[in-house]
Amino acid sequence: MIVTLADGTQLECEDDSFAEGGEGILYFDKVGKYVMKLYKTVEPQREAALQKIIGTEYSVVLNGLTGTSEPYWDELFAWPKAIIVKPQLGLTMLRAPQGTMELKWFLGSKQREVIAKKHGADKLGKWSNYLTLALKMARVVRRMHFRGLCHSDLSFRNFLADPSTERLILIDCDGLVVPGFLPPNVLGTPMCMAPELASQMIHPNPNVHPSTRTDLHALSTLVYWLLLRRHPLLGPKVHSPEPSLDEALSLGEKALFIEHPTDTSNHPPNLLSYTEVLTPAVQRLVQRAFVDGLHDPSKRPSAADWERFLLRMQDALVTCENPKCFLGSFVLNPANFVNPGQKSKIVCHCGTPLTKFQTLPIFHFYQPKRGQTGHFQNDQGYIMVGQPERNLYIWHADPAQAPGPGIDHQPKATLKFDYRHNKWYFQNLGLPDVQLLDPARLPRNVKLQDQVELTDGVRLLLGPPDHCRLAYVEMVRV
């Protein structure tokens, strides 16, 4: 079949569709680069809405100022690229990368077993890969919300992922809500619906629509699910003896977090709690999402909050020494410093202690006080745990920077461990004006390629003190 784009270009696509949704029929192009969606029925405003989504004002895959294409975002969004005018209205989107599958395959133990049998256990990836997927998911939602767009159906069906390669891409972006244009045509996927939407499965309310705030509930749900492999609201509490009504209530007006700190009526037995697994900052986001903000949308954490603190959580991961550990790595939290009297004080959730190192360096980050050069303040408890080959990037040094298009993603410094002498080193790979401040000595410049030993109590100034962070290094006995 030949389709014609709005600019007259013709593309050849397969004659047989590979999927059919409520709104349209999907085809692959012959080259394997694009997916074509042809609408079954055309709503009057559809073409105008598509033009908005493709244009510079709203397209998340274009630079908002220059209108040029940004490959960084093309990797995260199967965004509509062009409008098809013949044989009927439709659009082209980039095809999701090979190996990505519906996220749902990775969320439940039965599906995971099937994946392991079919593709090998490596396909499931490690826990740290899921942290990266959660971070990318937050980045995707933040990008849309900053453009004023609401997706309205963020779910395990619309995120395709491959944990083993940490690829994640959002599909089904043509139905999203453009302000002032087409209203949302779905409430969403039940398991990811915000309570105020899920309630409508019982009592329709024409005044409550999907919005960026309901998107944020879906995001929080998916992040929690990715990191803890269970749904945050579906616990043992029964609200109705009729199963589907029970679920509508559990997700809707009676929704109750399965780890609510005071109301334990929905607590499943034997949980590995989020308070043991996540960093304190991410724990606070979970509380805001499922305790404070569950029934109060204004209190929900933003996508930018999730992105910032999930990114920092990567720095708190410690590799587990058990090659068969179900996690592969864990967050170094006070909870892991238990077992007094045992050989190692730091133990993974699988029960394996750390033995390779006698000490671990912990970087306590402080951010510069604006306008008061030389003064630093606590950076919301941000810490980085030293691991061999752990890298620091520009956003570690400069709190105004964050990963994104146009940002240097090359390592700017790295940590090294000398196994023979049991010593930790910091090596500067590209940060200007790094200084080692040792209370017992004069400040020392750490030039490019220089490496300095990390000892308890030293401070590293990661660049010019007017805008760069200071790290206070604590050596923790393992």
Partner 1 sequence: MNLDKNINMDFGGGDVRRLPIYLLLDTSGSMAGAPIEAVNQGVTLLYNELMNDPSAIETCYIAVITFSSDAKITVPMTELTKFTPPRLQAGGTTALGDALRLLNSSLDKDIRANSPTQKGDYKPLVFLMTDGQPTDSWERPADEIKLRTKQKVASIIALGCGGGVDVNTLKRITEIVLLMDTVTPDQITQYFKWVSQSVSKASVAVQAAPGAGEARADLPPPPSGIQVVL
Instruction: Choose between 265 and 298: whose C-beta lies nearer to partner 1.
Output: 265
252 half-sphere exposure, CB direction, 13 A CA radius: 23
Which residue of 30, 43, 48, 326 would you call a contact of partner 1, by CB under 8 A? 326
Contact flag: residue 244 with partner 1 (CB under 8 A): yes
Contact flag: residue 19 with partner 1 (CB under 8 A): no
Which residue of 89, 251, 413, 434 would you call a contact of partner 1, by CB under 8 A? 251
Contact flag: residue 243 with partner 1 (CB under 8 A): yes
Alpha helices by DSSP H, 90-163: 109-119, 127-146
Which residue of 19, 31, 238, 338 would you call a contact of partner 1, by CB under 8 A? 238
What is the smallest separation between the CB atom of 161 and partner 1, expressed in angstroms? 12
3 half-sphere exposure, CB direction, 13 A CA radius: 26
What is the smallest separation between the CB atom of 227 and partner 1, expressed in angstroms? 9
State the distance between the two ends of the chain, measured CA to CA, in whole angstroms: 64
What is the smallest separation between the CB atom of 46 and partner 1, expressed in angstroms? 24
Inter-axis angle of helices 127-146 and 212-228, to 10 degrees?
170
> Are the C-beta atoms of 104 and 157 separated by less than 8 Å?
yes
- Judged by CB under 8 A, the stretch of 29-37, 47-55, 99-107, 392-400 that binds partner 1 is 99-107
Which residue of 62, 223, 248, 285 would you call a contact of partner 1, by CB under 8 A? 248
What is the smallest separation between the CB atom of 266 and partner 1, expressed in angstroms? 10
Residues 269-288 that bind partner 1 (CB under 8 A): 269-272, 277
> Are the C-beta atoms of 20 and 35 separated by less than 8 Å?
no
Instruction: Choose between 12 and 122: whose C-beta lies nearer to partner 1.
Output: 122
Sheet holding 101-102, edge to edge: 101-102, 159-162, 167-170
50: Cα separation from own chain's centroid: 27
Distance set, CA 136 to CA 139, 159, 419 (Å): 5, 11, 34
> Are the C-beta atoms of 152 and 49 separated by less than 8 Å?
no
Residue 360: count other Cβ atoms within 10 Å of its Cβ.
Answer: 21
Instruction: Choose between 124 and 431: whose C-beta lies nearer to partner 1.
Output: 124
What is the smallest separation between the CB atom of 250 and partner 1, expressed in angstroms? 8
What is the smallest separation between the CB atom of 144 and partner 1, expressed in angstroms? 24
Which residue of 24, 90, 235, 463 would you call a contact of partner 1, by CB under 8 A? 235
Cα distance between residue 250 and residue 237, in whole Å: 8
Contact flag: residue 183 with partner 1 (CB under 8 A): no
> Are the C-beta atoms of 103 and 161 separated by less than 8 Å?
yes
Binding mask 327-366 for partner 1 (x = CB under 8 A): -----------------------x----------------
What is the smallest separation between the CB atom of 229 and partner 1, expressed in angstroms? 5
Amino acid letter, residue 240: S
- Judged by CB under 8 A, the stretch of 27-35, 87-95, 239-247, 427-435 that binds partner 1 is 239-247
**Of the candidates 339, 314, 336, which has an alpha carbon nearest to the alpha carbon of residue 403?**
314
The structure tokens listed for 449 are 């390629």
- Judged by CB under 8 A, the stretch of 33-41, 224-232, 329-337, 393-401 that binds partner 1 is 224-232
Instruction: Choose between 269 and 341: whose C-beta lies nearer to partner 1.
Output: 269
Residues 101-130 that bind partner 1 (CB under 8 A): 102, 104-105, 107-114, 116, 121, 124
**Residue corresponding to tokens 């309205």:** 152
Residue 96 is classified by DSSP as P
Size of the site for partner 1 (CB under 8 A): 49
Instruction: Choose between 182 and 193: whose C-beta lies nearer to partner 1.
Output: 193
144 half-sphere exposure, CB direction, 13 A CA radius: 32
Distance set, CA 438 to CA 114, 238, 324, 446 (Å): 54, 59, 40, 12
Which residue of 52, 123, 142, 230 would you call a contact of partner 1, by CB under 8 A? 230
> Are the C-beta atoms of 239 and 293 separated by less than 8 Å?
no
Residues that bind partner 1 (CB under 8 A): 102, 104-105, 107-114, 116, 121, 124, 190-191, 193, 198, 201-202, 228-231, 234-236, 238, 241-248, 250-251, 258, 268-272, 277, 324-326, 350
